[in-house]
Amino acid sequence: MVVKVYGPIQAACPQRVLACLFEFGVDFELITVDLDSNEHKQPDFLQKQPFGQVPVVEDGEFRLFESRAIIRYYATKYGDKNRNLYGTTLEEKALVDQWLEVEAHHFNDMVYTIVLQKLVIPKMGGRTDFDLVHNCEKKLEQVFDIYEQRLSKNNYLAGNWFTLADLSHLPGIRYLMNECELGHLVRDRKKVNLWWDDISNRPAWKKVMQMFNGQG
């Protein structure tokens, strides 16, 4: 049975899930949800995801939302295929969870605000709050300084293997490097730069990008 993933390929959270499914070679079907026409706020969709957000995943009778819960589930389910993605010991797993929380709170909040202000609001006819964008950028500088320190001691955030914690950053950093024009946050930092080049060249992420560019 093929896993159904509901959400547009352009959105960060569905991309997070797809990257994970590709890492484990899990067959899926992407069912687009049109955010522009508010499809995610319609009763049919709210039945699946009561907060009216993407993605939601249907795996047979089982339904799950929140992208970081979804990737934890599949990394556990297919742990045999790639043990390192969610750690092989209790302590390793705790570090993956820790850096996943860092991405969810310290990193994501800032990126989300920047994307909302620079891309979504103008598209809806509103005005960007550039002060807010600037503040978020400053906070991200601090976050990336911490990442630079961390990555000077380890190849990846949670240790010396690529894990869900690194994967979780892929969609957000892609936005920063492209539409948000804040690539310097990554390029100015030696270790962060190396790390980004490494994780963004993984075959699984490249497959997500192929879909994003309309080729998959």
Which residues lie near other proteins (CB under 8 A)? 50-51, 62, 64-66, 68-70, 72-73, 76-77, 90-91, 93-95, 97-98, 100-102, 104-106, 109, 146, 149-150
Tokens found for residue 17: 């899930």
Nearer to other proteins, 76 or 160 (CB): 76
Residue 214's Cα: distance from chain center in Å? 19
CA–CA dist 56, 20 (Å, integer): 14
Q: For other proteins, which is the closer residue by CB, 129 or 209?
A: 129
CB of 213 to other proteins, least distance (A): 28
Least distance (Å) from other proteins to the CB of residue 174? 20
In angstroms, what is the C-alpha Rg of the chain?
A: 17
When the beta carbons of 120 and 146 are compared against other proteins, the nearer one is 146
CB of residue 62 to other proteins, shortest distance in Å: 6
* Shortest distance, position 211 Cβ to other proteins, whole Å: 24
Query: 31 — phi, psi (to 5°)?
Result: -110, 110
- Cα–Cα distance, 208 to 171 (Å, whole number): 10
Nearest-10 Cα torsion for 103, 113, 143, 134: 170
